[in-house]
């Protein structure tokens, strides 16, 4: 094999590809036990594949959960829930029913254990119900106009989920596979200086790496980036190196964007047909503030031009625009 080809495999941390290429070289005299290690002059390798399915994965969830409630205090009922939790484990894929594999099948916990992809550290919900307490029992004009109203907003907020940074190789940094079924990730080689919020009006000038330039308006982006200095944060990551790093798995070393939203219901009860029947008029607002929740960016040191870019077609909004639904229910 040419030195240039070997250098390319090494520089891209493609260890599986390197060993596979060596096994098909006529000058390679060591054991040929790699799957598909054959050529016109070399007989079929000793094995066609190596599979290991077992139940060595593990996970755990621990949380502090608090709740505060008020019941019909001057017409107000509230319920607040706050959760501070951690979801840790060795991944969420089943090896028996997928092509997924771990970095090190001999020590799954060492290579894969970390935050699960649904590990939201902080989650908060607030429900509020106000039932108009003053005019609902009156029979006059004020009672019909101002009585029977209910206002019920629902507020939710959460911190960002783990966000994995892709590496250079096609998931064969440790030589475990040549398919897209592993969680190889780039490694922080310097203290992380990025954040977890969107930065607007970010127009990135040309740089040696071109990190984040696809987010520029001139390149089809929206001038929105997760980092105020994408080039600096990009240079803080490096490929996962076999023989040096002990773990490049889990769902990510940094956090994605936080998110919040509010829905709202406004309803009114009133009597009709001389109080022989009753009706409820309801207005339901989804995303009442028309707040846009951006999806996490695509981060990979193999694709610097997309680094941290937000709001594009590939990673647009998680939320829908404000919607209004109204209904009228009659009871008789």
Q: Per-residue pLDDT tens for 25-41?
A: 777 666 555 555 554 44
Query: Residue ranges of the domains in the chain?
Result: 1-50, 61-331
pTM score, two decimals? 0.79
Q: Quick one: which of 127, 125, 120 has its CA closest to 63?
A: 120
Tens digits of residue pLDDT in 232-257: 999 999 988 888 887 787 778 899 99
**Closest-CA residue to 221 (of 211, 208, 207, 236):** 211
For the chain, give the percent of residues with pLDDT over 70: 80
Looking at per-residue pLDDT, the higher value among 75 and 286 belongs to: 286
């Amino acid at each position: 094999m040419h030195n240039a080809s070997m250098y390319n495999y090494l520089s891209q941390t493609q260890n599986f590809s390197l060993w596979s290429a060596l096994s098909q070289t006529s000058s390679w005299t060591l054991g040929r036990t790699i799957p598909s290690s054959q050529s016109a002059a070399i007989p079929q390798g000793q094995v066609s594949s190596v599979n290991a399915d077992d139940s060595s994965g593990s996970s755990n969830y621990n949380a502090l959960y608090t709740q505060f409630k008020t019941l019909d205090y001057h017409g107000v009922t509230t319920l607040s829930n706050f959760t501070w939790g951690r979801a840790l484990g060795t991944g969420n894929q089943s090896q028996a029913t997928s092509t997924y594999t771990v970095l090190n099948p001999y020590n799954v916990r060492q290579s894969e254990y970390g935050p699960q992809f649904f590990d939201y550290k902080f989650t908060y919900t607030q429900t509020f119900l106000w039932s108009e307490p003053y005019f609902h029992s009156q029979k006059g004009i004020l009672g019909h106009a101002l009585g029977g109203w209910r206002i019920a907003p629902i507020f939710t907020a959460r911190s960002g989920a783990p966000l994995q940074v892709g590496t250079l190789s096609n998931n064969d940094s440790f030589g475990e596979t040549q398919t897209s079924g592993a969680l190889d990730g780039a490694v922080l080689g310097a203290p992380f200086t990025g954040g977890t919020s969107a930065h607007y009006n970010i127009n990135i000038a040309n740089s040696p790496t071109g990190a984040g330039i696809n987010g520029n308006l001139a390149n089809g982006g929206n001038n929105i980036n997760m980092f105020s200095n994408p080039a600096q944060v990009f240079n803080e990551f490096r490929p996962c190196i076999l023989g040096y790093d002990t773990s490049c798995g889990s769902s990510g070393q940094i956090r994605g964007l936080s998110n919040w939203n509010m829905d709202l219901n406004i309803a009114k009860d009133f009597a009709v047909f001389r109080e022989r029947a009753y009706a409820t008029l309801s207005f339901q607002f989804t995303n009442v503030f028309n707040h846009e929740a951006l999806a996490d960016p695509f981060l990979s040191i193999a694709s610097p031009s997309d680094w941290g870019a937000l709001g594009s077609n590939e990673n647009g909004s998680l939320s829908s625009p404000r919607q209004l639904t109204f209904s009228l229910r009659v009871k008789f």
